[in-house]
Amino acid sequence: MLGKRTQKSRTVAQRTLKGPIACTGTGLHSGRKVAMQLLPAAPNHGIVFRRRDIPGDAGVLKADFRAVRDTRLCSMLANDAGTKIGTIEHLMAALYGAEIDNLIVELDADEVPVMDGSAAPFLFLVDCAGTIEQAAPRRAIEILAPIAYSEGDAHIELAPGAGFSAEFEIDFANEAIGRQAIHVALEPAGFRQDIARARTFGFEHEVASLRAMGLARGGSLDNAVVVSGERILNEDGLRFDDEFVRHKVLDLVGDFYLAGAPILGHARARRTGHRHNNALLHALFAAPAAWRWTEISPDTYARPPARASLASD
């Protein structure tokens, strides 16, 4: 897919949408109908959420890991005015996969619509609108030294590595899920191919208690894989044999994109979720020697890394 490039164009440009595009869907937790509009934004603007039902600055939330407040079941942004937007991670993962740097996400409710529980419908939406290059280089966060976060038997770390890749392991007592491990290259094209379609999942026996807590009211077999004992309740079954661990990678990609730019490095995670992803970013940015800003070049996501030719440069 990479075209021939001259030596002169060694940076990759930032991207935004060609024009606005809209969709409606259901809020996973509220169960209410949500209208979402994606709008182009200027270079270096970043990704910003705007609540159409809350005027002024009180309705504006930057897509920033520092603004994540509630990580029980989804990643939720909140600002000083107390405005919230939940279930942002699958959209953020899609925006990573679409290589979108600058965007305004307008919503008329406190949740991003869940769509089918994966990132694929958002990628489709962005692809329908099309993207354009902007007059600013695309930046990334390059990992320079390992950084880790552990909590009980949950462990996550980021280490230097070519491009962006992840190893993820989950281990559920549930027979339908069990132990699943994956090692996957996460450059945008690889993310689209191997991860974007993996859906969120839940357990039938948890549905009643989640709903009593005001959560998962919009959850259904249309937007989640639902597991009951050793059975998958969805009529069409799974999209991948290991869809569960792939979805955990999807969540990680979306949560990491809240760093403000793509991360370049290798992630290793075991039995982690949104809270740990967020805690790792806090640890990373508290360690200035562990990372640096860099500009993305056409070779950044090339695989495998051309070590031999680098040596003769």
Given the rule CB under 5 A, which residues bind Zn ion? Answer: 200, 251
Query: Which C-beta is closer to Zn ion: that of 59 or that of 97?
Result: 97
For 45, phi and psi rounded to 5 degrees? -75, -35
- The 3-state DSSP class for residue 243 equals helix
274 tagged catalytic: yes
Q: Which amino acid is at 37?
A: Q
- Contacts of 132 by beta carbon, 8 Å cutoff, 6+ apart: 15, 16, 17, 18, 40
How does DSSP classify residue 27?
A: B
Query: Which C-beta is closer to Zn ion: that of 200 or that of 277?
Result: 200
- In the complex, what is the shortest distance from the CB of residue 77 to Zn ion, in angstroms, rounded to a whole number? 15
- In the complex, what is the shortest distance from the CB of residue 218 to Zn ion, in angstroms, rounded to a whole number? 14
- In the complex, what is the shortest distance from the CB of residue 289 to Zn ion, in angstroms, rounded to a whole number? 32
Cα dihedral: 133, 134, 136, 139 (round 10):
-50
Query: Which C-beta is closer to Zn ion: that of 102 or that of 200?
Result: 200
- The 3-state DSSP class for residue 212 equals helix
Catalytic residue among 29, 90, 247, 274: 274
Query: Which C-beta is closer to Zn ion: that of 134 or that of 200?
Result: 200
- In the complex, what is the shortest distance from the CB of residue 243 to Zn ion, in angstroms, rounded to a whole number? 12
How does DSSP classify residue 301?
A: T
- Contacts of 169 by beta carbon, 8 Å cutoff, 6+ apart: 179, 180, 181, 182, 245, 269, 270, 271
Q: Which residues are catalytic?
A: 274
